[in-house]
């Protein structure tokens, strides 16, 4: 009797247990975009480093409206004055200019009438008006970014403000995508009888890149035992993660599993209670991970989303994305699979303030167009009959 299929969660857990996070490196801020931070970043000093003006105007002392003050100098951004403010005086100041000694407030220039060498201030001024305090954004020594954070624009800005010139990040996983199949032709090549274009190679490479991987150009392997073994052997030498699509089922031309066994790649699991994606295979040789994904393009993308993406994240020590939406209401009934969870490509729409999941057209595992415009995978549990519209379903991210 065949062993019971692993659940999606069990399979994903085995993947995560098998891998070891990659080493780290230090890179300049200019090279750090989209990398995963491997060490916390804390503020080297207070930010802002000095009290400064939030407006273009005049640094003044607090007081009533209608005062006339003599303008005795200027504090520009980057060019502070060494004059201290005395009674009856104002110092011209620009946004970001340091508040001069003796001043505690700024009056915007819109609120003054400037005459030759003096101003009349039209409004009363309180201490602290239009002043940005030292350390208001970051206090020296506080942690600004935590390890595991992906460095997007905001994070790079914050790291720089915190004083960092370089950051410690995880190495990018080196990924090799291989597509098996005698029927596969390269993009744009004319098709002979029985042939199709190799969608998986470019799709899986793009997915890997978007999850932070360094990919070698995807390669194709024929349905031949020796060639499959040679191709896998080469990939295993230089990759942290090998993703091979097709050839993992039980057909007479499915050579991936025996080839991997000969190459000493140890099986961790094969087959998951998932539709599409049942024949998914996962194994390791040393620290190299191998994913054998089913050949149908939708199955390949779904299994990438559920198993490879979390692996690429974990290899980089990357925290899961903050999920704003983890559940939705199924907008149309879905026929259930009696023993496998279905990953249904859905579009998400908000209706009456609630999130609805609309199945994105025909769901066959060969229907590449069902991926177009899909926002997520709605997980429909195994069972009899159909899951009715209106039922709450969990969502899994569908990576770009």
Could you say which of 183, 224, 233, 327 contacts ligand AMP (CB under 6 A)?
183
Nearer to Mg ion, 252 or 353 (CB): 252
Residue closer to Mg ion by CB (options 220, 356) is: 220
Lookup: tokens for 249 = 């089922």
Q: Of residues 51, 173, 181, 310, which one binds ligand AMP by CB under 6 A?
A: 181
Query: How far, in whole angstroms, is CA 199 from its chain's centroid?
Result: 24
Helices (H), strands (E): how many in the chain? 7, 29
Shortest Cβ distance from residue 48 to ligand AMP (Å)?
54
3-state secondary structure of 287: coil
Based on the shown chain and the rule CB under 5 A, indicate whether residue 218 belongs to the binding site for Mg ion.
no
DSSP 309-369: HHHHHHHTTPPPPP-S-SEEEESS-EEPPSSSEEEEEEEEEEETTEEEEEE-S---TT-GG
Q: Which two tokens stand for residue 164?
A: 């960092």
What is the C-alpha separation between 318 and 171, in angstroms, rounded?
A: 11
Query: What's the 3-state SS for 240-273?
Result: CEEEEECCCCCCCCCCHHHHHHHCCCEEEEECEC
The nearest distance, CB 247 to Mg ion, in angstroms, is 5
Residues 288-307, interacting with ligand AMP (CB under 6 A):
294-297
Residue number, 138 or 221, with CB nearest to ligand AMP: 221
How crowded is the C-beta side of 389, counted as CA atoms within 13 Å?
Answer: 6
The one among 28, 186, 196, 326 contacting ligand AMP by CB under 6 A: 196
Question: How near is the Cβ of 335 to ligand AMP at its closest, in Å?
Answer: 22
Rounded CA gap, 208 and 226, in Å? 27
240-279: which residues touch Mg ion (CB under 5 A)?
246-247
Question: Of 361, 239, 249, 374, which Cα lies nearest the Cα of 301?
Answer: 374
Rounded-to-10 torsion of CA 309, 311, 313, 319:
110
Nearer to ligand AMP, 308 or 330 (CB): 308
Is residue 198 part of the contact set for ligand AMP (CB under 6 A)? yes
Residue 249 Cβ vs Mg ion, minimum distance, rounded to whole Å:
8
**Interface mask toward Mg ion for 173-192; x: CB under 5 A:** --------x-----------
Beta carbon nearer to Mg ion, 179 or 316: 179
Cβ closer to ligand AMP: 15 or 300? 300
Element (H, E) at 130: none
Q: Give residues 250-269 in contact with ligand AMP (rule: CB under 6 A).
A: 251
Q: Could you say whether residue 310 binds Mg ion (CB under 5 A)? A: no
Least distance (Å) between residue 295 CB and ligand AMP: 2
- Residue closer to ligand AMP by CB (options 132, 255) is 255
292 binds, among ligand AMP, Mg ion, none (CB under 5 to 8 A by kind): none
Q: Which of residues 74 and 183 has its CB atom nearest to ligand AMP in the complex?
A: 183
Given the complex with Mg ion, which of 246 and 310 has the nearer CB atom?
A: 246
Contact 181, 246 (CB under 8 A): yes
**57 interacts with ligand AMP by CB under 6 A:** no
Window contacting ligand AMP (CB under 6 A); options: 113-121, 151-159, 180-188, 322-330: 180-188
CB of 380 to ligand AMP, least distance (A): 22
Asked whether position 218 contacts ligand AMP by CB under 6 A, the answer is no
Q: Check binding of 292 to Mg ion (CB under 5 A).
A: no
Closest distance of CB 302 from Mg ion, Å: 17
Label residue 396 exposed, middle or buried (CB < 10 Å: 0-12, 13-18, 19+). middle
What phi-psi label fits residue 94: left (phi over 0), alpha (psi between -120 and 50 degrees) or beta? beta
Would you say 102 and 61 are in contact if contact means Cβ atoms under 8 Å apart? Answer: yes
- Identify which of residues 57 and 295 has a Cβ nearer to Mg ion in the complex: 295
d(CA 132, CA 106): 10
Q: Copy the structure tokens of residue 77.
A: 């951004």
Peptide bond preceding 48 in cis form (omega within 30 of 0): yes
Shortest approach of Mg ion to residue 248 CB, angstroms? 9
Chain residues that interact with Mg ion, rule: CB under 5 A: 181, 246-247, 295
Chain residues that interact with ligand AMP, rule: CB under 6 A: 179, 181, 183-184, 196, 198-201, 245-247, 249, 251, 294-297
């Amino acid at each position: 009797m065949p062993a019971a299929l692993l659940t999606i969660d069990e399979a994903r857990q085995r993947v995560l247990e098998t891998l070891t996070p990659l080493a780290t490196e230090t890179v300049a801020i200019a090279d750090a975009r989209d990398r995963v931070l491997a060490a916390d970043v804390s503020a080297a000093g207070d930010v802002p480093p000095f009290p400064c003006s939030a407006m273009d105007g005049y640094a003044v002392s607090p007081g009533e409206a209608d005062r006339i003050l003599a303008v005795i100098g200027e504090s520009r951004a980057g060019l502070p004055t060494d004059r201290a403010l005395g009674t009856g005086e104002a110092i011209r100041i620009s946004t970001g200019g340091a508040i001069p000694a003796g001043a505690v407030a700024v009056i915007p220039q819109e609120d003054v009438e400037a005459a030759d060498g003096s101003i009349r201030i039209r409004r009363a001024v309180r201490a602290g008006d239009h002043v940005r305090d030292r350390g208001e954004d970051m206090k020296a020594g506080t942690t600004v970014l935590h390890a595991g954070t992906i460095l997007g624009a905001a994070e790079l800005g914050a790291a720089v403000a915190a004083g960092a010139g370089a950051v410690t990040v995880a190495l990018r996983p080196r990924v090799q995508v291989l597509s098996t199949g005698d029927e596969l032709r390269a993009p744009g090549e004319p098709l002979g009888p029985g042939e199709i274009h190799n969608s998986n190679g470019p799709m899986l490479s793009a997915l890997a890149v978007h999850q932070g991987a360094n990919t070698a150009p995807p390669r194709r392997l024929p349905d031949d035992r020796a060639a499959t073994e040679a191709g896998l052997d080469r990939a295993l030498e230089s990759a942290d993660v090998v993703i091979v699509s097709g050839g993992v089922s039980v057909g007479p031309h499915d050579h991936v599993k025996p080839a991997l066994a000969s190459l000493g790649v140890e099986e961790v699991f094969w087959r998951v209670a998932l539709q599409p994606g049942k024949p998914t295979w996962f194994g390791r040789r040393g620290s190299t991970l191998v994913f054998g994904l089913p050949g149908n393009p939708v199955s390949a993308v779904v299994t990438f989303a559920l198993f490879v993406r979390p692996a690429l994240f974990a290899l980089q020590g990357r925290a899961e994305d903050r999920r704003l939406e983890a559940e939705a209401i199924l907008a149309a009934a879905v026929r259930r699979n009696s023993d496998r969870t279905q990953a249904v490509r859905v579009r998400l729409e908000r209706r009456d303030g609630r999130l609805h999941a609309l199945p994105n057209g025909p769901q066959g595992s060969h229907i590449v167009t069902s991926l177009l415009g899909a926002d997520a995978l709605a997980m429909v549990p195994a069972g009899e009959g159909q899951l009715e519209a209106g039922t709450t379903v969990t969502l899994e991210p569908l990576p770009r």
